[in-house]
Amino acid sequence: ILILAVESSCDETAAAVVKNGREVLSNIISSQIALHTLYGGVVPEIASRKHIEAIDGVITQALQEAGVTLEDIDAIGVTYGPGLVGALLVGLAEAKALAFAANKPLVGVHHIEGHICANYIENKDFEPPYMALVVSGGHSHLVYVSDYGKYEILGRTRDDAAGEAYDKVARAIGMGYPGGPKIDAAAKKGNPNAVKFPRVFLEEDSYDFSFSGLKSAVLNYVNKQKMMGEPIVPEDIAASFQQAVVEVLVEKTIHAAKERGVKQIAMAGGVASNSALRETMRKACEKEGFYLSIPSPILCTDNAAMIGCAAYYEYMAGVRDGFDLNANPGLKLGER
């Protein structure tokens, strides 16, 4: 089964050809990051326009690199939510047009399901059940995956997503957008114990997250230092902030896995490419005896290969969408 997948939910225009769900024949990503950096974050209007410019070329390249034509494809998978509505519409309209023109089935995919499915690509034997920590620019979820396509959200962020906190803190200490990779790099040169930032665990046994208090603590610290004429060491702040985020993410994930009695943990989303999170989670899983799956960094951030993988499992489960499929910016995981 060959899936052509299209992804345009945020600031990456992406297309991929995926064979039998787990074999990536091509994975083309056209990133707009350099453009949005000028504005310190993603500008939705600009994102939509750039998607329109890029999408045809990206799809053509994905087919070419895979050495297939549209006729060889069995189904077209496309992200239809959640994300920026204008951005989603570009990929969706394109996918519908191709499905109509080539008479191929259309399969709508949930973007976060795609992030989770990225774990199946490099790890051919990895299967549910497992506990998934989804940490991206817009989401922080603890998800119990009991089977393919079966998701139970145990916890979610009550305010900022983990990636959002990284981006906002980076801006506050003058590191620019996107903040995640910049903080990751700076933290390697800093002392994680330099500044004592709060670890927010919320109520006992809650699997929810909260990162806005930590973000405020960082901002307050920076302002206080400036007011008192004390120096700020961005590397130390980055390392201390990152340590506070990572400790909470790892502890809650391990706790949830134990409580559910699963033996496997998976990570997904852009923040899963964070080196400190990967390292800390690896050590914790080793100590507690959990198998850990983490996609390569390029499959953690937005891409279409993960959408092709998710579409394959939906397709095999019989999912087919009509041309009335609409973009749904607030689509919930596990709902259609």
Annotated binding-site members for substrate: 134-138, 167, 180, 184, 274
As a whole number of Å, the end-to-end CA separation of the chain is 23
Of 262-321, binders to Fe ion (CB under 5 A) are: 302
Which one of residues 138, 190, 192, 308 is an interface residue with ligand ATP (CB under 6 A)? 138
Name the helix (H) or strand (E) containing 14: strand 12-19
Smallest distance from the beta carbon of 79 to Fe ion, in angstroms?
A: 9
Smallest distance from the beta carbon of 115 to Fe ion, in angstroms?
A: 6
Considering beta carbons, is residue 128 or 163 the nearer one to ligand ATP? 163
Residues paired with 106 in a beta bridge: 76, 321
Considering beta carbons, is residue 99 or 242 the nearer one to ligand ATP? 242
Write each residue from 68 to 97 as x if it is in contact with ligand ATP (CB under 6 A), else as -, in one continuous string: ---------------x--------------
Which one of residues 145, 271, 307, 331 is an interface residue with ligand ATP (CB under 6 A)? 271
Taking CA 244 as the corner, what is the angle to CA 241 and CA 248, rounded to the nearest 5 degrees?
145
Q: Classify burial at 44, counting beta carbons within 10 Å of its beta carbon; exposed 0-12, middle 13-18, buried 19 or more.
A: middle
Angstrom distance (rounded) from CA 166 to CA 161: 9
Smallest distance from the beta carbon of 23 to Mg ion, in angstroms?
A: 24
Smallest distance from the beta carbon of 76 to ligand ATP, in angstroms?
A: 21
Considering beta carbons, is residue 99 or 161 the nearer one to ligand ATP? 161
Which one of residues 27, 32, 136, 210 is an interface residue with ligand ATP (CB under 6 A)? 136
Partner from ligand ATP, Mg ion, Fe ion, none contacting 273, C-beta within 5 to 8 A by type: ligand ATP
Name the helix (H) or strand (E) containing 245: helix 234-260
Q: Phi first, then psi: what are they for 79, rounded to 5°?
A: -70, 125
Pairing relationship of beta strands 264-268 and 291-293 according to DSSP bridges: parallel
For 43, how many CA atoms within 13 A lie in the half-sphere containing its CB?
11
Of 6-35, binders to ligand ATP (CB under 6 A) are: 9-10
Question: Which residue stretch of 95-103, 159-167, 205-213, 223-231 sits at the interface with ligand ATP (rule: CB under 6 A)?
Answer: 159-167
Angstrom distance (rounded) from CA 336 to CA 321: 10
Q: Phi first, then psi: what are they for 56, rounded to 5°?
A: -60, -50
Q: Is 202 left (phi over 0), alpha (psi -120 to 50) or beta?
A: left
State the residue for tokens 């910016």.
329
CB 135, CB 182: distance < 8 Å:
no
Write each residue from 285 to 304 as x if it is in contact with ligand ATP (CB under 6 A), else as -, in one continuous string: ----------------xx--
**Closest CA relative to residue 53, chosen from 37, 68, 32, 70:** 32
Please give the residue whose beta carbon sits closest to ligand ATP in the complex: 270
Question: Which residue stretch of 45-53, 98-106, 128-136, 212-220 sits at the interface with Fe ion (rule: CB under 5 A)?
Answer: 128-136
Which one of residues 80, 144, 151, 166 is an interface residue with ligand ATP (CB under 6 A)? 166
Residues of this chain that interact with ligand ATP (CB under 6 A) are 9-10, 83, 111, 115, 136-139, 163, 166-167, 178-181, 184, 269-271, 273-274, 301-302
